[in-house]
């Protein structure tokens, strides 16, 4: 297998080598992203917003995810590919297994990602027992935007922070091989990354995570509307050259200069 493996990513964490992750949704960008040195490409359900123009990720389907995952896989050779399980595609164990199987067997993903805490322990156990690697996702859960009432930082209260750390440990114990933390105070994310042996990838979660992820179109400054505070327009500072912008992002992640103090909570 010519693609990077989970064991490679685990070794990177152990060696304190930062893991650079970006989203991509098509073959052309997947190739640029990989050539710039990104280790992991996430085919995120953020495609609902940045590709489809939806108001949230809620309308994204498994068929959408399979189509974009196939495109990203065709455009890349070495990157480790994670595909998001979209809204309501993993509400029970059987459903999660059949949809994850499609993302892997048909889409070509090496890992699936799902949003949620301890409630998803049985789903993660069911997937991993069948050889499907799982990336968990805590903090701001965009698929739950209608329950959360908006996109806000999560885990600010002491009790919420303790709960998130406990849930992260439960997800690791259930078999999750990676964890994304979204919009979490930097100190809490640092503690979670320290307490877990699996790689913890942050977005809006401070520089102490084992790696960083951004939505590609956010870091190129082409997502319509206001850029999230935790993002940065790497294209503008790179003279408008896409490959250079992505290389700058990778360098900043590797050197630990992204995110800086203003780009975290
Ligand atoms: O869908 C996505 O792009 C994501 C990242 C923001 C982590 O889940
Ligand atoms: Na997502």
As for the ipTM of the complex, it is 0.99
Nearest to 214, CA basis, from 48, 19, 56, 58: 19
- The rounded distance, in Å, linking the Cα atoms of 215 and 225 is 14
211-227: pLDDT as tens digits: 999 999 999 999 998 88
- The rounded distance, in Å, linking the Cα atoms of 162 and 132 is 29
- Please list, in sequence order, all residues whose beta carbon lies within 8 angstroms of the beta carbon of residue 69, skipping any fewer than 6 positions away: 43, 81, 83, 103, 107, 108, 109
For residue 93, CA distances in Å to 90, 124, 127, 202, 257 come to 7, 8, 8, 27, 40
Check pLDDT > 80 for residue 164.
yes
Residue entry with tokens 């493996």: 5
Please list every protein residue whose CB sits less than 6 Å from any atom of ligand 1: 23, 42, 44-46, 84, 180, 182, 203, 213, 215
Q: Are 164 and 154 spatial neighbours (Cβ–Cβ below 8 Å)?
A: yes
Enter the tokens of residue 106. Answer: 């048909």
Is position 208 annotated as part of the catalytic site?
no
123-141: pLDDT as tens digits: 999 999 999 999 999 999 9
Rg (CA), the chain: 17
Q: How confident is the model at residue 1 (pLDDT cuts 50, 70, 90)?
A: low
Percent of the chain with pLDDT over 90: 97
User: Which atom of ligand 1 sits closest to the CA of residue 214?
Assistant: 6
pLDDT (average), residues 175-201: 98
CB atoms within 10 A of CB 37: 16
Q: Are 90 and 123 spatial neighbours (Cβ–Cβ below 8 Å)?
A: yes
What is the set of domains in the chain, with CATH numbers? 6-263 (3.20.20.60)
User: Which atom of ligand 1 sits closest to the CA of residue 180?
Assistant: 7
- The rounded distance, in Å, linking the Cα atoms of 261 and 265 is 8
Nearest listed ligand to the Cα of residue 144 = 2
Residue entry with tokens 């930097």: 186
């Amino acid at each position: 297998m010519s693609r990077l493996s989970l064991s490679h990513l685990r070794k990177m964490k152990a060696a304190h080598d930062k893991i650079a992750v970006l989203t991509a949704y098509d073959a052309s960008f997947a190739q640029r992203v990989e050539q710039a040195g990104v280790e992991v490409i996430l085919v995120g359900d953020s495609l609902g917003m940045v590709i489809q123009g939806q108001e949230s990720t809620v309308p994204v389907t498994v068929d959408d995810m399979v189509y974009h995952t196939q495109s990203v896989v065709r455009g890349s050779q070495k990157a480790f590919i994670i595909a998001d399980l979209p809204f309501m595609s993993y509400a029970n164990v059987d459903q999660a297994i059949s949809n994850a199987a499609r993302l892997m067997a048909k889409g070509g993903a090496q890992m699936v990602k799902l949003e949620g805490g301890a409630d998803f322990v049985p789903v993660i156990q069911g997937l991993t027992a069948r050889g499907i690697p799982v990336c968990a996702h805590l903090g701001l859960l965009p698929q739950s935007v209608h329950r959360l009432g908006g996109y806000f930082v999560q885990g600010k209260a002491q009790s919420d922070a303790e709960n998130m750390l406990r849930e992260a440990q439960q997800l690791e114990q259930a078999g999750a091989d990676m964890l994304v933390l979204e919009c979490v105070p930097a100190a809490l994310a640092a503690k979670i990354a320290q307490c877990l042996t699996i790689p913890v990838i942050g977005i809006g979660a401070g520089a102490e995570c084992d790696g960083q992820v951004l939505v590609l179109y956010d870091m190129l400054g082409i997502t319509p509307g206001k850029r999230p505070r935790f993002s940065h327009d790497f294209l503008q500072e790179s003279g408008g050259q896409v490959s250079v912008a992505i290389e700058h992002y990778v360098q900043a992640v590797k050197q630990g200069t992204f995110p800086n103090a203003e780009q975290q909570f």
